């Protein structure tokens, strides 16, 4: 679906992405891990066409992402920010309606889709709330609902559960897992693989890939289905000893002191 080739991004003569190749296949969930400053958010910015790389290119099913109009891009790529912020004074309903701008429909026509997406995240009662008054956890769920209403083929999620309480983390990740099972293609930056493996069944693993990014280069791309090898790769990536343990039939990754 996405083919990124030799992506290089520099800040002040410092390479934050260095000849990165990154492919995403339809129906898969790619989890990007790596230390702070590895270039993960920058990579998502390049994939969604927001940041133009100094070298290399990104294609969506063969078409350069840079050549797409805003509406064409919105049909293909949706993005969930690390800290969703709505600066304009708008209600949740208006936020979700805006996410459907490419459909050029009236708010009345959009309304059932907007309500359906809010129901999906169990937050229909927030419909008329001002977006900037939401708590972090509420904003994250509403942002996920907005992503749903956009109906993009590929979702890019930047630390979707960062700073959320355990119940909100579980709520978000269970919905992502359900979307994966429905065929949604996703790329997520996460720090805690544990949270994801907790909600996945082993039968989901064949669609899940883990990509390790460090100092602007891809260090590995591994299937979720081989937890011991993955734990070794994570140990190298983070410079800590990690071990895979099995809890109720599911692999979890723990840091060994």
Question: Residue numbers of the site for ligand ADP (CB under 6 A)?
Answer: 11, 16, 34, 36-42
Please state, in angstroms and rounded to a whole number, the distance separating the CA atoms of residues 244 and 252: 6
Binds 38: which of Mg ion, ligand ADP, none (CB < 5-8 Å by kind): ligand ADP
Q: Smallest distance from the beta carbon of 80 to ligand ADP, in angstroms?
A: 14
Cβ neighbours of residue 131 closer than 8 Å, sequence gap 6 or more:
86, 90, 91, 92, 94, 95, 139, 142
Closer of 148 and 193 to ligand ADP (Cβ)? 193
Nearest-approach distance from CB 144 to ligand ADP, in angstroms: 19
User: Smaller CB distance to ligand ADP: residue 128 or 239?
Assistant: 239
Number of H helices, E strands in the chain: 8, 12
- 247's tokens: 């809890």
We find the least distance from the C-beta atom of residue 52 to Mg ion, in angstroms, to be: 19
Contact yes or no for 234/255 (Cβ under 8 A): no
8 binds Mg ion per the rule CB under 5 A: no
Do 206 and 223 meet the contact criterion of CB atoms below 8 Å apart?
yes
The 23-62 site mask, x for binding Mg ion (CB under 5 A), equals -----------------xx---------------------
Minimum distance from CB of 161 to ligand ADP (Å)? 15
The distance of closest approach from Cβ of residue 212 to ligand ADP in the complex, given in angstroms and rounded to an integer, is: 11
Please identify, using beta-carbon distances, which residue of 11 and 101 lies nearer to ligand ADP: 11
Query: Strands, DSSP E only, in the chain?
Result: 2-11, 14-24, 29-33, 55-60, 63-64, 77-80, 154-158, 185-189, 208-214, 217-223, 241-247, 250-256
| Residue 77 or 92 having the CB closest to Mg ion | 77
CA distance 85 to 255: 33
Site residues (vs Mg ion, CB under 5 A): 40-41
């Amino acid at each position: 679906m996405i083919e990124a080739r030799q992506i290089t991004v520099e800040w002040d003569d410092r390479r934050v992405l260095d000849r990165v190749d990154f492919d995403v296949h339809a129906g898969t969930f790619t989890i990007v891990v790596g230390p702070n400053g590895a270039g993960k958010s920058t990579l998502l910015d390049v994939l969604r066409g927001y940041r133009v790389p100094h070298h290399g290119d990104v294609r969506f099913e063969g078409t350069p992402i840079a050549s797409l109009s805003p509406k064409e891009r919105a049909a293909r790529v949706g993005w969930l920010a690390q800290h969703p912020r709505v600066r304009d004074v708008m209600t949740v309903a208006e936020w979700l309606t805006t996410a459907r701008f490419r459909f050029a429909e009236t708010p009345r026509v959009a309304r059932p889709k907007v309500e359906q997406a809010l129901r999906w995240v169990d937050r229909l009662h927030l419909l008329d709330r001002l977006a900037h008054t939401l708590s972090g956890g509420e904003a994250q769920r509403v942002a996920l609902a907005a992503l749903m209403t956009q109906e993009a083929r590929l979702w890019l999620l930047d630390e979707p559960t960062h700073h959320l309480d355990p119940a909100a983390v579980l709520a978000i990740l269970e919905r992502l897992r359900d979307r994966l099972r429905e065929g949604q293609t996703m790329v997520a930056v996460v720090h805690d693989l544990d949270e994801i493996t907790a909600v996945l069944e082993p039968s989901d693993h064949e669609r899940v890939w883990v990509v390790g990014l460090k100092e602007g280069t891809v260090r590995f791309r591994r299937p979720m289905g081989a937890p011991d090898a993955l734990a070794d790769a994570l140990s190298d990536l983070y410079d800590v000893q990690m071990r895979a343990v099995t809890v109720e039939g599911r692999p979890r990754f723990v840091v060994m002191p």
